Chain A
Amino acid sequence: MSLLTLANVTKTYGNHVGVRAVDDVSLVLERGAFAALAGPSGSGKTTLLNLVGGLDKPDRGTIRIGEAEITAMPPSALADFRLRRLGFIFQAFNLLPVLTVVENLEFVPALQGMAAAERRRRAHDLLAKVGLADVGGKRPNELSGGQQQRVAVVRAILTEPDVVLADEPTANLDSANAERLLEMMQELNRERGVTFLFSTHDPQVMARARRLIRLRDGRIDADDTHSSATTQTRP
């Protein structure tokens, strides 16, 4: 069942001599996918991820997530869509520094209006699951980079979004922490059916992705599905 559909999406930067960061890309992503956008710097990975996340608007083409065409949404509706349907993991972790770990995890569900007891329960359950049960009261700057990124992953999945978009999630981690993070995300994908779409040039991520979409100069250069992978879908 397709979750994400891009049709002829184009994004150009610069007014006069435009650079096509994304050039006429069409793509369908199934629910429960564990996919990576790979390619060299400037290939359009991050731009494509930003477009899918509704953080930027394409010049042409449409993007659908489920039944919603996000390219047609006004900014406030788009903000609401991101809040309820998408999860984000950033390269630089980007936890809010004035909030504790648990408060960071509660931020999105609080905006959604989830009851305090429920969001706190989910936060503690997931923290325990990723081995961070004892850091809930700490501020982000008291955690290591690996711990911060695991918290960021938990933040992204806590409200069970349709798709989690992760921009170079392992870029600031050493290989051991990167491996641990990938295992965790893979487990969440398998057990909970969370759909992941990464942008990366990290071979570790590419090796674990069940679908690898290679970009070059804003276009899809190759789209490989690993035959051994088993796609789990959310019940």
Chain B
Amino acid sequence: MLFLTMAWRNVWRNRRRSALTVSVIALSLTFNILMRGIGDGFHEQMVDNSVRAHIGHLQVHRSGYHDDPGLNRTLPDPAAVQRALAALPGVRGYSLRVLGDGLASTDDNSAGIAIVGIDPTEERTVTTIERAITEGRYLDGPDPRPILVGDRLATTLKTRVGDKVVLLVQAADGSMGAQLFRVGGLFRSGSPDLDRNVAYVRRSDAQDLFALGDRVTEAVVLLESSAAVEGAQASLAAALAGGTYEVLTWSQVEPFLEQFIVLDDAFFYIIVGILFIVISIGILNTILMSVFERVREFGVMMALGTRPRQVVRLVVLEAIVLAAVGSAVGGTLGSLATLYFADAGIDLSSFAEGAASIGITTTVVYSELTAANVILSNLAVFVLVVLVALYPAVHAARLRPVDAIRHV
């Protein structure tokens, strides 16, 4: 308690210098928490957008489908998958789909596309494709063989709502399948890949087109929480263990997403690391100055019987006082700033095109405040400050009392 009292008072002996140091610590912590919060929110939104746009949290296929997709690898027993999903806790919805490639042709142009056969009602529980419709209507209307195309694909095909589109495919039995569809709606998901290359049709129409009968190629699952993905994957894989299935998470389906997040995190930590090095030099300077100014005091303390490790403790405690005040201020400011941007968001509309290319389909990024962010950021600052304080602390502890007392 005595050393803590001394540390507290020593810190405030030079108020201006300590206030400056506390400000540096607080600002770095604020920056760290806010940037981490924006990063977390950005990643969460990116994943959520991709998950909700098309891929879901989990996908169930016949084994080997992901590496070599084809109509010969349909789900062995869709009913068994449905039963397993019905029994799995935390499932918000699922959609059984037919996926195949084909050629879309209009009077003016043609393009190779991915054809996704969906049940409109099921799909509504998993993806946001219905909400992405900008013109026309969803696939649940009375019209025969409607097709939803992305706005970029519509531009390529020079087609509009109500126009005819012929889909030409190689069916599961090897025959050529061709069907006439009519554009029921246009969508803009924000994902250039989806908007340029994908068309949605009813699942039954796709099954006819690809001569699949009632077979489907995948089940796409949306969970209540993205945090439960790994657990749900394991549970579902266990439930389907008797069959030849593969259960993949979003990150396995789209490894690019996870790689991007890892890379983005790496850049963040590099920037924070550089920032912390610069801050460390400042803090080291402050504590060294403080030690050099008190050489005689340390000499007196040691002459009176203070042990070297107690001198180290005093200097480190002073650093901890600085870190604690800086953390309190920075933690509060960082949390408040993160909460503010979690509500107000950060307008990135000027970067919309670039953001869309990496799966960010909204023009406003919302930060996310997590306990882990605040705790880890504070911990990092504490560890940094204590480590930085060790050098001047050891320097003080190694002073010879007889020399230190004479120090002017």
Contact = CB atoms under 8 A, between A and B. Distances in A.
Contacts of B402: 50, 55-56
A94 B306 contact: no
B6 interface: yes
Given A90-B300, A96-B300, A98-B9, A82 B405 contact: no
A94 B5 CA distance: 19
A64 interface: no
B330 interface: no
Nearest to A84: B305
Contact of A88 (B2, B10, B304): B304
> Looking at chain B, what size class is its interface with the partner chain?
20 to 34
A98 B405 contact: no
Interface in A88-104: 88, 90, 94, 96-99, 103
Given A55-B401, A94-B405, A97-B297, A107 B5 contact: no
B310 interface: yes
Contacts of B27: none
Interface string A69-83: 000000110011011
A76 B2 contact: no
Nearest to B301: A96
B5 to A, nearest CB: 7
Interface residues of A, number: 27
B308 A76 contact: yes
A96 B297 contact: yes
Interface string B296-319: 110011111111101000000000
Contact of B304 (A56, A75, A97, A108): A108
A88 B303 contact: yes
A55 B10 CA distance: 25
Contacts of A53: 303
Q: Which of B6, B302, B304, B401 has the largest number of chain A CB atoms within 10 A?
A: B304
Contacts of A106: 2
B92 interface: no
Contacts of A117: none
B6 A99 contact: yes
A106 B310 CA distance: 16
Interface in B358-408: 400-402, 405
Nearest to A50: B402
21 contacts: A55-B303, A55-B400, A55-B402, A79-B305, A83-B304, A83-B306, A86-B305, A88-B304, A90-B303, A94-B405, A96-B6, A96-B297, A97-B297, A98-B9, A103-B2, A103-B5, A106-B2, A107-B304, A108-B304, A111-B310, A112-B305
